[in-house]
Structure 1
Amino acid sequence: MDAIDQSASDIHFQPQQEFVEVHLRIQGQRIHYKEIPTAKYKLILAYFKYTGKLDIGESRLPQQGVISYKQADLLYTLRISTLPTNNTESLSIRILPQESTQSLHELFLFPNQFSQVKKWLNNKTGVILLTGPTGSGKTTTLYAMLKSFINEYNYHTITLEDPIEKNLENALQVQINQSSGLTYQAGLKAVLRHDPDIIMVGEIRDKATAEFVFHAAYTGHLVLTTLHAKDTHGTILRLLDMGIKKLDLQQNLIAIASLELLPLKLQKFNKQRAAIIERLEGQTLSCALTQPKLTHTTDDFQKLRRKAFAYGYISEESCY
Structure 2
Amino acid sequence: MMSVLIIKRTSYMNTSINSPDISPPAFVDEMIDSSYRIGASDIHIDPRKDTILIRFRVDGVLERYREIPAVMLPELVARVKVLAGLRTDVHMTPHDGRFCIERGEYSCDVRVSILPTQFGENIVLRLLPKAGRNDSLEALGFSHEHIALIREVVARPQGMILVTGPTGAGKTSTQYGLVSETDPTSQVVITLEDPIEYALSDVRQVAIREKYSLTFPTGLRSILRQDPDVIMVGEMRDTETARIAVNAALTGHLLISTLHTNTALDTIPRLIDMGIEPYLIASTLTLIIGQRLARRVCDRCGGRVGEVGGSAGQKACEACLGKGYRGRIIISEVIPIDEKMRSYILRKISRDDMEKYVRSIGVPSLRDDGFVKADRGLTTVEEVLRVI
The corresponding residue for 1:130 is: 163
Equivalent residues in 2 for 1:36-55, closer than 5 Å: 36-55=68-87
Asked if the contact 2:266/2:351 (under 8 Å) is kept, the reply is no
Asked if the contact 1:101/1:143 (under 8 Å) is kept, the reply is no
Asked if the contact 1:108/1:114 (under 8 Å) is kept, the reply is no
Measured in 2, the distance between the counterparts of 1:313 and 1:3 equals 24
* TM-score w.r.t. length of structure 2: 0.77
* TM-score w.r.t. length of structure 1: 0.92
The corresponding residue for 1:81 is: 113
The corresponding residue for 2:365 is: 300
Determine whether 1:97 maps to 2:129. Answer: yes
The corresponding residue for 1:249 is: 281
Determine whether 1:12 maps to 2:69. Answer: no
3-state SS of 2:227 partner:
coil
Q: 1:115 aligns with which of 142, 148, 166?
A: 148
3-state SS of 2:231 partner:
strand
> How far 1:288 moved relative to its partner?
5.6
The corresponding residue for 1:275 is: 330
> How far 1:254 moved relative to its partner?
0.9
Measured in 2, the distance between the counterparts of 1:232 and 1:28 equals 21
- CA separation of 1:128/1:90 partners in 2, compared to 1, >3 Å: closer, same or farther? same
Asked if the contact 2:278/2:348 (under 8 Å) is kept, the reply is no
Taking only aligned residues, the RMSD between alpha carbons, in angstroms, comes to 2.1
Higher RCO, 1 vs 2 (CA within 8 Å, ≥6 residues apart)? 1
- CA separation of 1:2/1:207 partners in 2, compared to 1, >3 Å: closer, same or farther? same
Measured in 1, the distance between the counterparts of 2:83 and 2:231 equals 31
Measured in 1, the distance between the counterparts of 2:72 and 2:154 equals 49
3-state SS of 2:90 partner:
coil
> How far 1:17 moved relative to its partner?
0.5
Equivalent residues in 2 for 1:91-240, closer than 5 Å: 91-99=123-131, 100-150=133-183, 154-240=186-272
What percent of counterpart residues are identical?
30
> How far 1:4 moved relative to its partner?
0.9
> How far 1:63 moved relative to its partner?
2.0
AA in 2 matched with 1:31: E
AA in 1 matched with 2:143: F
3-state SS of 1:30 partner:
strand
Partner deviation per Cα, 1:229-273 (whole Å, 9 max, x = no partner): 111122222211111111111000111111112222142586222
- CA separation of 1:87/1:265 partners in 2, compared to 1, >3 Å: closer, same or farther? closer
Measured in 1, the distance between the counterparts of 2:284 and 2:167 equals 25
Asked if the contact 1:236/1:292 (under 8 Å) is kept, the reply is no
Measured in 1, the distance between the counterparts of 2:343 and 2:48 equals 50
Partner deviation per Cα, 1:41-76 (whole Å, 9 max, x = no partner): 322222222222333333332221121222343221
> How far 1:29 moved relative to its partner?
1.1
3-state SS of 2:172 partner:
helix
Specify the structure having the higher radius of gyration (Cα): 2
The corresponding residue for 1:315 is: 380
Asked if the contact 2:285/2:337 (under 8 Å) is kept, the reply is no
Partner deviation per Cα, 1:64-90 (whole Å, 9 max, x = no partner): 112122234322121111122115221
AA in 2 matched with 1:105: E
AA in 1 matched with 2:177: A
Measured in 2, the distance between the counterparts of 1:58 and 1:127 equals 43
Partner deviation per Cα, 1:150-178 (whole Å, 9 max, x = no partner): 37x61111111111000111011111111
Larger displacement relative to structure 2 (240-249 or 65-74): 65-74
> How far 1:121 moved relative to its partner?
0.6
- CA separation of 1:252/1:109 partners in 2, compared to 1, >3 Å: closer, same or farther? closer
